[in-house]
Amino acid sequence: GQEGTIARVSGESVLRRRLLEMGINRGTRIYVEKYAPLRDPLELVVKGYHISLRVEEAANILVENVRSKKR
């Protein structure tokens, strides 16, 4: 998977608020654990929690310092 630091969270106010409430906020480390067979949804690890998001929702998360990581 890939790992990086969240730089920005955008999107409509309801979606943005939902992402922020799940701990997806600026400065937080985020890791892509895996994709579903058809690549949607994807499973993210944020602050030790596993979160599944649709790809269109995850597109609102800008990530910096992305690097590959094996778990």
Q: Which of 59, 58, 62 is nearest to 28 (CA)?
A: 62
Structure tokens, 57: 């929702």
Chunked in runs of 10, what are the mean pLDDT values of the chain (71 residues)?
95 95 96 92 96 96 87 58
What lies within 8 Å, CB to CB, of 3 at 6+ separation is 29, 30, 31, 32, 66, 67, 68, 69
Please tell me the pTM assigned to this model. 0.87
Q: What is the pLDDT of residue 66?
A: 86
Match domain 2-68 to its CATH number in 2.30.30.90, 2.115.10.20, 2.60.40.1260, 3.10.150.10: 2.30.30.90
Distance, in Å, from the CA atom of 38 to the CA atom of 67, rounded to the nearest integer, reads 23
Domain-by-domain residue ranges, the chain? 2-68
53 C-beta neighbours (distance < 10 Å), count = 20
